[in-house]
Amino acid sequence: MQRSIYFTEEHDLLRDQIRRFISEKVVPNGDAWEADGMTPRQVLKDLASLGLLGIRYPEQFGGSNLNTLESVVLAEELGRSSYGGFAITVLVHTDMASPHLANAGTPEQIEKYMPDIIKGNLITAVAVTEPDAGSDVAGLNTRAVKEGNDWVLNGTKTFITNGVHGDLYFVAARTDTSQKGSRGITMFIVEKGTPGFTVGRAIDKMGWQSSDTAELIFDECRVPENNILGGVDQGFYAILKNFQNERIVLGAQAIGEAQKALELTLEYTRNRKAFEATLWDKQTIRQRLSMRLSEVEAGRQMVYHAAWLDTQGIDCTKEVSMVKAYCVELVNKVMYDCQQFHGGFGYIKGTAIERMVRDARIQSIGGGATEVMLEEVAKRI
Active site residues: 246
Burial readout 137-159 (b: 16 or more C-beta within 10 A, e: otherwise): beebebebeeeeeebbbbbbbbb
DSSP helix/strand/coil, 273: strand
**What is the rounded CA–CA span in Å between residue 41 and residue 116?**
13
Q: Is 57 exposed, middle or buried (0-12, 13-18, 19+ CB in 10 A)?
A: buried
CA 139, 143, 145, 149 dihedral sign is negative
Give the closest residue to 236 by CA, choosing from 279, 175, 162: 175
Give the closest residue to 289 by CA, choosing from 330, 256, 254, 334: 334
- What is the C-alpha R_g of the chain? 21
Q: How many CB atoms lie within 10 A of CB 179?
A: 12
| Beta-bridge mates of residue 150 | 147, 224
For β-strands 124-127 and 168-174, DSSP reports them as parallel
For β-strands 197-202 and 213-224, DSSP reports them as antiparallel
C-beta of residue 74 within 8 angstroms of C-beta of residue 94: yes
**What is the rounded CA–CA span in Å between residue 256 and residue 332?**
12
DSSP 3-state percent helix, strand, coil across the chain (nearest 5): 55, 15, 30
Give the closest residue to 55 by CA, choosing from 47, 266, 209, 328: 47
- The letter for the amino acid at 343 is G
